[in-house]
């Protein structure tokens, strides 16, 4: 069975700058796919190839097996929602949402029904007669979503649509958007540099850098099994520890770090004595409690450099030899803030490891 959307070997240049370097990506129908990466990595440029606002020098864009190259945007049925909302300032909420239907001369009773459905879906009831300047940023963004979805397209493109909202509202709107996307089953491509948005909303994440896709996978795979240091560092907080390969064993590898031999649940194609990097997330270790036994975990002696109280966690920076670890204590109300010398307990079952070549 073929994919719903396909990017095949896409190349896009701007003068001497290669914005997309032979990029391929297959998207199943109904999936929420996030293009994640730093500014200038090519994620918006890739989305624009699908929307029809830009054409590749090489490669093909397909929807349901049909080549889209050369088709103007209005023939692709791929509405794009921008971070600036792009609402008509002289039109009311009703007029903005219904704009596409009215252009197509849809009967008024059908327009009214569909607009009411959108108002209810995005919690905009009672705002039909307001103009954009009379609404909050969150309400304007909901109007933009409603206008894009009312036409019944099967694809929705979102280019950092929440970046102008404050942090709390951003979390609220992204949760609503994800629920609506799942309810409608609309295939969605979402561009962002925000790792939390990508992890919380996506079925599939494509991490991009310098015009290429570094890794494609589920949020779980991207976070816990990054393919290189760039992905590990860009998606979430991470500690990188230099270690040495000891030997391969069934279901993993034996590695040496700080004079201890650790089992890592990753099979590495690295010869004995080769250099590797351990990927240690803050949740992979904790500060030992008095009398705590950890027979199956590694113990490291360290000193707390400093900490930040973040409400739900205390984040510590703990120095172990020449290396500094970032550690989150998820029970700050029970433990209080720690200082001075501590022991760290490292849960080796949660470790990941990479070849030292990135």
Q: Between residues 49 and 79, which one has the greater pLDDT?
A: 49
pLDDT at 9: 97
Q: Strand order of the sheet with strand 80-81? A: 80-81, 155-159, 187-192, 32-36, 204-209, 212-217
Phi first, then psi: give them for residue 278, nearest 5 degrees: -85, 135
pLDDT at 258: 82
CA distance 311 to 1: 48
pLDDT of 291 over the 70 cut: yes
Model's pTM, two decimal places? 0.89
pLDDT of 43 over the 90 cut: yes
Q: Residues with Cβ < 8 Å from 232, sequence gap 6 or more?
A: 226, 238, 240, 279, 352, 354
pLDDT at 155: 93
pLDDT at 294: 67
Instruction: Give the Cα-Cα-Cα angle 331, 334, 340 (nearest 5 degrees).
Output: 85
Query: Chain-wide mean pLDDT for the chain?
Result: 90
The domains found in the chain, sorted by start residue, are 5-233 (3.40.50.300), 237-355 (2.40.50.140)
What confidence tens digit (pLDDT) does each residue in 167-194 have?
A: 888 898 899 899 999 999 999 999 999 9
Q: Residues with Cβ < 8 Å from 321, sequence gap 6 or more?
A: 258
Average pLDDT over residues 59-65: 95
pLDDT class for 337, splitting at 50, 70, 90? confident
Q: Picking from 76-85, 236-245, 273-282, which range would have the lowest pLDDT averaged per residue?
A: 76-85
pLDDT of 358 over the 60 cut: no
CA distance 205 to 217: 6
In which residue are the tokens 């204590």 written? 329
What confidence tens digit (pLDDT) does each residue in 211-236 have?
A: 999 999 999 999 999 999 999 999 98
């Amino acid at each position: 069975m073929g994919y719903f959307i396909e990017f095949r070997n896409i190349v896009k240049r701007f003068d001497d700058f290669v914005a997309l370097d032979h990029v391929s990506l297959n998207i199943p129908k109904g999936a929420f796919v996030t293009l994640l990466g730093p500014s200038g990595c090519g994620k918006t440029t890739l989305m624009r190839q699908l929307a029809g606002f830009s054409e590749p020098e090489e490669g093909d864009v397909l929807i349901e097996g049909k080549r889209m190259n050369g088709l103007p945007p209005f023939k692709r049925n791929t509405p794009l929602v921008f971070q600036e909302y792009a609402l008509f300032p002289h039109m009311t909420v009703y007029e903005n949402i219904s704009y596409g239907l009215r252009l197509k001369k849809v009967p008024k009773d059908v327009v009214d029904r569909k607009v009411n459905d959108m108002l209810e879906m995005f919690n905009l009831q009672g705002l039909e007669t307001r103009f954009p300047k009379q609404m909050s940023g969150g309400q304007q963004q909901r109007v933009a979503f409603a206008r894009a979805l009312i036409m019944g397209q099967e694809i929705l493109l979102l280019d950092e649509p929440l970046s102008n909202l404050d942090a709390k509202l951003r979390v609220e709107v992204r949760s609503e958007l994800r629920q609506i996307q799942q309810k409608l089953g609309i295939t969605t491509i979402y561009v962002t540099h925000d790792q939390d948005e990508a992890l919380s909303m996506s079925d599939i994440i494509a991490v991009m850098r310098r015009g290429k896709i570094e890794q494609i996978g589920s949020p779980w795979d991207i976070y816990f099994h990054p393919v290189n240091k760039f992905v590990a560092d860009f998606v979430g907080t991470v500690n990188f520890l230099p270690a040495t390969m000891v030997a391969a064993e069934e279901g993993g590898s034996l590695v040496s770090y700080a004079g201890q031999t650790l089992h890592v649940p990753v099979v590495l194609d690295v010869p004995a004595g080769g250099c590797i990097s351990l990927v240690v997330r803050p949740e992979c270790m904790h500060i030992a409690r008095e009398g705590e036994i950890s027979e199956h975990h590694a113990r490291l002696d360290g000193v707390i450099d400093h900490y930040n109280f973040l409400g739900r966690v205390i984040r510590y920076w703990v120095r172990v030899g020449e290396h500094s670890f970032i550690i989150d204590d998820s029970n700050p109300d029970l433990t209080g803030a720690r200082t001075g010398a501590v022991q760290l307990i490292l849960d080796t079952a949660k470790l990941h490891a990479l070849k030292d070549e990135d």
